[in-house]
Amino acid sequence: MDLNSFIRNIPDFPKPGVIFRDITPMLADAKAFDFAVEKMVEPFAGEKIQKVVAIEARGFIFGSVAANKLGAGFVPVRKKGKLPFKTDEETYSLEYGEASIEIHKDAFNEGERVLLLDDVLATGGTMAAVCRLVQRQKAVIAGISFLCELDFFNGKKLLPNVTVHSVLHF
């Protein structure tokens, strides 16, 4: 299946010169959506994944389905102040400032094998922050998977020493 045919290009959004890759047509097609998630988890099927970690908000769309496909638990990473229990926080740089994300302090048992997942890899800053959160809890990052990678940002440079898989490249 050609997933590219389900990605709508929106020129000049959110600002002039940017081409936004809209995944909503793919999400609206049950077969395409299922195929996309299958391709996201395929390289990690034999890795004995115990938890799938996904980033708010679009990562949640893929993360819970991926966890189900792998027979794993699901762990949400959210913006600061959105989780109800004791959390660990990580702050990271954005092109216009800083942002913070959080994860529950009891998200993992030591040594659990986890797959990190999100919709898009751009600069890599958010996922690098997630890696730091997961590593502080002594979980093992078995890999990182994205639906789309914006290659010109070279976001993989912030994710060394871990397998990074992207289904689509732009």
Residue 148 lies in a domain: yes
Active site residue 89: no
Residue 21 lies in a domain: no
Residue 12 lies in a domain: no
What average pLDDT does this structure show over 111-128? 97
Kindly report the number of other CB atoms within 10 A of residue 1's CB atom. 13
What average pLDDT does this structure show over 104-133? 97
pLDDT of 84? 95
Total domains present in the chain: 1
Residue 41 lies in a domain: no
Please say whether the beta carbons of 20 and 13 come within 8 A.
yes
Residue 52 lies in a domain: yes
At CA 24, angle to CA 23 and CA 25, rounded to 5? 95
pTM above 0.85, yes or no: yes
User: 82: domain CATH number?
Assistant: 3.40.50.2020
Residue of 58, 98, 110, 112 marked catalytic: 58
Active site residue 136: no
46 Cβ partners below 8 Å, 6+ apart? none
Residue 30 lies in a domain: no
Residue 17 lies in a domain: no
pLDDT of 94? 78
Please state, in angstroms and rounded to a whole number, the distance separating the CA atoms of residues 128 and 157: 10
pLDDT in tens, 35-83: 999 999 999 999 999 999 999 999 999 999 999 999 999 999 999 999 9
Domain that holds residue 90: 46-169
Residue 159 lies in a domain: yes
pLDDT tier, 97 (very low <50, low <70, confident <90, very high otherwise)? confident
